[in-house]
């Protein structure tokens, strides 16, 4: 696949990133020199809106609320640069988002399906982990007994990822491959995935209820590195995310199966004609995508210190924004797009109220579709 | 298990204002999807904007002592102005939404409309607009219902007709039932008339083959925009009707609401005149009956009362999947007419 590492496309992506970063730095400098007097009121407003867990807009605000409180406590000793802090938060969030959106992009690339149920795969990973590791009694829907499994976090997480990947296999074997065989169009398949998403999100609510649950009860210790503060769990999450993304990139670029996947993504009929088993590749992509989504969900639950039945559903549109920004069906584009979305949504909280940060990301999605519908890394082609 | 009670509740759900409001919203979506083939996944955004447009206008006039620019307004004039604002806001939103998106392919349109509707909801529940929209608590019913309830010709007490008891004019009332179904009937008439007009035939042509219609010299973009705006305005009216029986709260008009409207439209039959009405009646009645039966027959230890709602909605999701796969034309539709095309 020539376009994935096309130097021109990469240069373009780099230019966009640098320009965005420059623009933000300039704005930040302007803000800090001009608006010193306003800073405390902003922090107060943030703290007052930050303590609303389980609201759609307040996705990362729990982490942020702790930020502002620590900020207040440490302002006399160490000053954290808010811009750099937000940038780091944004990169962390973007990396976690990338885990989910790379899978979404792979599915779109190989099957043409915009999978609206991908957010639920993210929640499923986190909820399964909670089910396996929780010390509190848990139960299954319709089964009236309560029990505790209480595995160690690492074992539970690996098992949950395996189970989630299994749901990807199941879905493709019993639903999506049948639909493809019946030649049901991708638009109908998209509406089917909407139905699946509606069913799954309510199933998860039925399973663990509406409250926010925590995977790990340990409190994240935060360290000061120069002008920024970062927690151990966040650092570990970022590390795992980078390792997974590197592994997926290596798989796509250097293995036979990965090359076959990119071939199917480029042109399924040509790939079939050259002897690639398209159905097998698509099944592999489903397993990979759902597994990655589960990893993203678990890491996100650790990063945000809690998860709920709709934590993934809230991310769905950000994933679509990331995937569209990078170019639909381009896995590396989804990676770049996720990090851009992560940074923009976190950094925008410096000027906009934090409960609007996802609205900002969605605004970018609409602007991108307006001016460059093929995305950053996509080839210019007619999409209308 | 109270069978008579369940039967009465199910009967009331058939003509309830909620059923009418969703039928009206589905008629709006029928203009988008049924006639033109537009995959509008943000219909709840239109409804929410309509609700805000009406409720905020009335609230401001009422807070001003019923006066606008020093002129005292009768209750009827207030209602007309509120509805007008709701329509104007939704038309503007439709134009703004259609401008960049109507040139895009089907699934792009779906993603952008859903994103736009979510943006409306995020803005509505944002603390920064609390003075206007009331943030996540929304606008209380008492702030905007008075003009509508004061023009009711029905008595101001509980009225029993057959087995059904509703209030004469307050909240979910007989007055609201009559008004809501009248509006639904008028919108259905409009749909019936327009879908059989030359204009409607062009829209159906766009649904079937956009390029063929373009090659006949028709302005496809303009026609799609007209369909989007008309359907959106009808959706906004549906939102206003819904808010009369409830309150204006942004989170009740999230993505699930859009998906319910899609389910009930596909259930009744897209591109048909009575499909949205039948779909809404079946959807809400079936939801109530399923919840009633599951609550009455499955023991509390297996399925507690808080789990009933998600349980019923799992079935809604499964219904949507099954409908699209096995019977995309729904109860009333014509399979040959409505193949969901790539666009």
Straight-line distance from the first to the last Cα atom of chain A, in angstroms, rounded to the nearest whole number: 24
Q: What is the rounded average pLDDT of the residues B184-209?
A: 92
Q: What is the rounded average pLDDT of the residues B168-196?
A: 90
Domain ranges of chain A: 52-369
pLDDT for position A266: 83
A186–chain B Cβ distance below 8 A for any pair: yes
Region of poorest pLDDT, from A161-165, A179-183, B119-123, B294-298: B294-298
Running along chain A, 384 residues long, what does each successive block of 10 average in pLDDT? Answer: 50 64 60 41 36 37 40 44 85 92 90 90 92 83 78 89 94 91 84 92 88 78 78 86 92 91 87 90 94 93 86 88 80 87 86 79 77 67 48
A117–chain B Cβ distance below 8 A for any pair: no
Contact at CB, B107 and A363, closer than 8 angstroms: no
| Nearest chain B Cα distance for residue A359, angstroms | 5
State the Cα–Cα distance between residues B60 and B82, nearest whole angstrom. Answer: 10
Contact at CB, A317 and B100, closer than 8 angstroms: no
Q: For the segment B233-276, what is each residue's pLDDT rounded down to a tens digit?
A: 999 999 999 988 888 888 888 888 999 999 899 888 888 899 99
Q: What is the DSSP letter of A380?
A: P
Contact at CB, B119 and A362, closer than 8 angstroms: yes
Q: For the segment B21-54, what is each residue's pLDDT rounded down to a tens digit?
A: 999 999 999 999 989 888 898 999 999 999 999 9
A114–chain B Cβ distance below 8 A for any pair: yes
Q: What is the DSSP letter of A312?
A: T
Report the residue from B116, B125, B325 with minimal CB separation from A184.
B325
Contact at CB, A353 and B111, closer than 8 angstroms: no
Report the residue from B103, B301, B318 with minimal CB separation from A384.
B103
User: Measured on CA atoms in the order B17, B19, B25, B28, is the torsion positive or negative?
Assistant: negative
ipTM of this complex: 0.85
Give me the helices (H) in chain B, please: 3-15, 17-29, 43-63, 75-101, 106-125, 130-133, 141-144, 146-150, 174-195, 198-208, 210-215, 220-245, 255-268, 275-297, 308-326
- In a mutational test of the A interface, the residue from B38, B127, B253, B263 whose CB has the highest number of chain A CBs within 10 Å is B127
* CA nearest to A147, candidates A137, A136, A156: A137
Mean pLDDT of chain B: 86
Contact at CB, A206 and B307, closer than 8 angstroms: yes
Instruction: CATH number for B3-326: choose from 1.10.10, 2.60.120, 1.10.357, 1.10.3470.
Output: 1.10.3470
State the Cα–Cα distance between residues B334 and B326, nearest whole angstrom. Answer: 13
- In a mutational test of the A interface, the residue from B224, B255, B261, B327 whose CB has the highest number of chain A CBs within 10 Å is B255
Q: Which residues of A touch B116 (CB under 8 A)?
A: 362, 366
Q: Which residues of A touch B299 (CB under 8 A)?
A: 144
State the Cα–Cα distance between residues B241 and A121, nearest whole angstrom. Answer: 36
| Nearest chain A Cα distance for residue B251, angstroms | 9
| Nearest chain A Cα distance for residue B240, angstroms | 24
Report the residue from B118, B303, B317 with minimal CB separation from A317.
B118
Chain A residues 135-174 with CB within 8 Å of chain B: 141-144
Q: What is the DSSP letter of B35?
A: I
pLDDT surpassing 70 at residue B165: yes
| Nearest chain B Cα distance for residue A334, angstroms | 16
Q: For the segment B1-29, what is each residue's pLDDT rounded down to a tens digit?
A: 678 888 888 888 889 999 999 999 999 99
CATH number attached to the domain at A52-369: 1.10.3470
Residue B139, φ and ψ in degrees, nearest 5 = -115, 130
Domain ranges of chain B: 3-326
pLDDT for position A165: 94
pLDDT for position B338: 62
Q: What is the rounded average pLDDT of the residues B53-69?
A: 84
């Amino acid at each position: 696949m020539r376009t994935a590492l096309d130097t021109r496309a990469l240069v373009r992506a780099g230019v966009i990133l640098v320009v965005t970063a420059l623009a933000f730095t300039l704005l930040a400098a302007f803000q800090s020199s001009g608006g010193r007097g306003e800073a405390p009121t902003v922090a107060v407003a943030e703290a007052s809106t930050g303590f609303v867990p389980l609201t759609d807009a307040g996705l990362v605000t729990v982490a942020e609320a702790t930020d502002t409180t620590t900020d207040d406590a440490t302002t006399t000793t160490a000053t954290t640069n808010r811009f750099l802090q937000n940038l780091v938060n944004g990169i962390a969030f973007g990396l976690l988002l990338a885990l989910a959106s790379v899978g979404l992009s792979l599915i779109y690339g190989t099957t043409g399906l915009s999978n609206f149920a991908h957010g639920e795969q993210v929640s499923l990973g986190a909820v399964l982990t909670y089910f396996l590791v929780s010390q509190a009694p848990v139960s299954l829907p319709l089964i009236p007994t309560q029990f505790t499994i209480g595995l160690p976090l690492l074992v539970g997480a690996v098992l949950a990822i395996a189970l989630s990947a299994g749901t990807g296999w199941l879905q493709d074997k019993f639903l999506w491959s049948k639909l493809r065989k019946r030649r049901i169009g991708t638009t109908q398949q998209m509406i089917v995935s909407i139905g699946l998403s509606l069913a799954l999100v309510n199933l998860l609510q039925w399973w663990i209820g509406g409250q926010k649950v925590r995977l790990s009860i340990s409190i994240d210790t935060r360290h000061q590195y120069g002008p920024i503060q970062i927690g151990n769990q966040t650092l570990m999450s970022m590390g795992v995310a980078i390792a997974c993304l590197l592994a997926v990139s290596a798989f796509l670029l250097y293995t036979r199966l990965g090359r076959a996947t990119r071939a199917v993504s480029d042109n399924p009929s040509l790939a079939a004609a050259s002897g690639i088993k398209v159905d097998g590749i698509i099944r592999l992509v489903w397993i990979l995508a759902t597994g990655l989504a589960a990893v993203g969900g678990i890491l996100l639950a650790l990063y945000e210190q809690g998860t709920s039945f709709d934590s993934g559903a809230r991310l769905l549109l950000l994933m679509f924004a990331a995937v569209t920004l990078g170019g639909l069906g381009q896995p590396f584009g989804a990676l770049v797009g996720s990090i851009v979305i992560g940074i923009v949504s976190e950094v925008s909280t410096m000027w906009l109220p934090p409960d609007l940060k996802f609205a900002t990301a969605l605004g970018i999605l609409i602007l991108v579709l307006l001016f460059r519908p093929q995305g950053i890394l996509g080839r210019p082609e007619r999409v209308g | 298990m109270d069978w008579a009670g369940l039967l009465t509740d199910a009967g009331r759900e058939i003509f309830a204002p909620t059923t009418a409001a969703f039928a009206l919203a589905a008629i709006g979506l029928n203009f988008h999807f049924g006639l033109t083939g537009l995959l509008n996944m943000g219909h709840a955004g239109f409804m929410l904007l309509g609700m805000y447009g009406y409720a905020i206008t009335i609230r401001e006039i009422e807070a001003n002592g019923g006066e606008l620019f020093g002129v005292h307004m009768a209750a009827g004039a207030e209602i007309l102005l509120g509805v007008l604002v709701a329509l104007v806001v939704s038309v503007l939103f439709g134009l703004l939404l259609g401008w960049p998106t109507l040139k895009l392919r089907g699934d792009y349109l779906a993603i952008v409309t859903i994103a736009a509707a979510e943006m409306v909801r995020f803005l509505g529940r944002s603390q920064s607009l609390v003075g206007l929209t009331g943030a996540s608590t929304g606008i209380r019913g008492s702030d905007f219902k008075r003009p509508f309830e004061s023009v009711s010709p029905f008595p101001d007490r509980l009225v029993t007709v057959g087995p059904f008891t509703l209030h004469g004019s307050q909240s979910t009332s007989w007055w609201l039932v009559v008004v809501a179904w009248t509006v639904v009937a008028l919108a259905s008439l409009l749909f019936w008339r327009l879908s059989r007009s030359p204009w409607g035939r062009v829209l159906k042509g766009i649904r079937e083959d956009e390029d063929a219609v373009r090659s006949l010299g028709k302005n496809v973009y303009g026609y799609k925009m007209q369909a989007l705006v008309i359907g959106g305005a009808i959706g906004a009216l549906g939102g206003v009707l819904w808010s009369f029986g409830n309150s204006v709260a942004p989170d009740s008009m999230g993505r699930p609401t859009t998906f319910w409207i899609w389910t009930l439209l596909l259930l009744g039959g897209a591109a048909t005149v009575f499909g949205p009405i039948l779909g809404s009646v079946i959807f809400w009645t079936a939801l109530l009956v399923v919840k009633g039966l599951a609550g009455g027959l499955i023991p509390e230890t297996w399925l507690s009362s808080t789990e009933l709602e998600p349980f019923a909605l799992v079935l809604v999701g499964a219904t949507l999947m099954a409908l699209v796969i096995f019977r995309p034309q729904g109860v009333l539709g014509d399979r040959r007419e409505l193949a969901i095309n790539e666009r």
